[in-house]
Amino acid sequence: MKKIASLFFVCFLTACGGTKTYEPEEINPDIDVCVICNMSITAEPYATEIVLKDGTVHKFDDIGCMIEWMNEQNGEDIAKKYVRDVTNGKWIELEQAVYVYNPNYWTPMNYGVVSFANEKNAKEYMEQEGKGELWTYEQLKKHRWGFER
C-alpha cells in the first residue's frame, strides 16, 4: 500500500510541475526602467517585455528598445516576447500583434511604431491620427530601427 501511495504522490508532483509558462509581469512605473535606455517606464501602454527561459523578465519603454536588445542577442535564451495593445494595455505576443508606423507618432523613444491586438484597433488608431501605415510582424522585422525624429 505504501508503494502505491508513494507512486501516486510522485505522479501528482510530476503533473503539478507541468509545462513552464512565460507570462509578462505588470509594469511598476515607480521602479521599472528600460534595459536599453534606462528611462523609467511611465508610458505603460507602450511598454514591452522579453521573458527568458530562466524566467528573467527584461522590460523596455518602447518597442524600438526591445528590438535593439534582441538584435544584440543570439535569441536562444528568449522564451517569449510581449508588446501591448496601446488602446487597452493588454499584453500580446510580439509575433501575433499588428503594428502601425509613422515617424511622427509619439512613442517614448520616438521610434514611431505602435502595437495592437488586432487590425480593427490599428485601423481605428490610424484614422484617429490621420496618418500611418499598417504593418505585420514581418514588416516590423525588416524595419531599419533608429530614432525617427
| Domain boundaries along the sequence of the chain | 2-142
Question: Model-level pTM?
Answer: 0.83
pLDDT for the residue numbered 19: 73
Whose cell is 525588416? That residue is 142
CA 52 to chain centre: 12
Say how many C-beta atoms besides its own lie within 10 A of residue 21's C-beta: 9
Nearest to 94 by CA among 148, 138, 35, 133: 138
DSSP letters for the chain: -HHHHHHHHHHHHHHHH-PPP-PPPPP-TTT-B-TTT--B---GGG-EEEEETTS-EEEESSHHHHHHHHHTS-STTEEEEEEE-TTT--EEEGGG-EEEE-TTS--TTS--EEEESSHHHHHHHHHHHT--EEE-HHHHHHS--S---
pLDDT for the residue numbered 64: 93
Return per-residue pLDDT of the chain as tens, 149 residues.
Answer: 555 544 444 444 444 556 788 999 999 999 999 999 999 999 999 999 999 999 999 999 999 999 999 989 888 899 999 999 999 999 999 999 999 999 999 999 999 999 999 999 999 999 999 999 999 998 888 888 765 44
What are phi and psi for residue 74, nearest 5 degrees?
-85, -15
Kind of pairing, strands 78-84 and 48-52? antiparallel
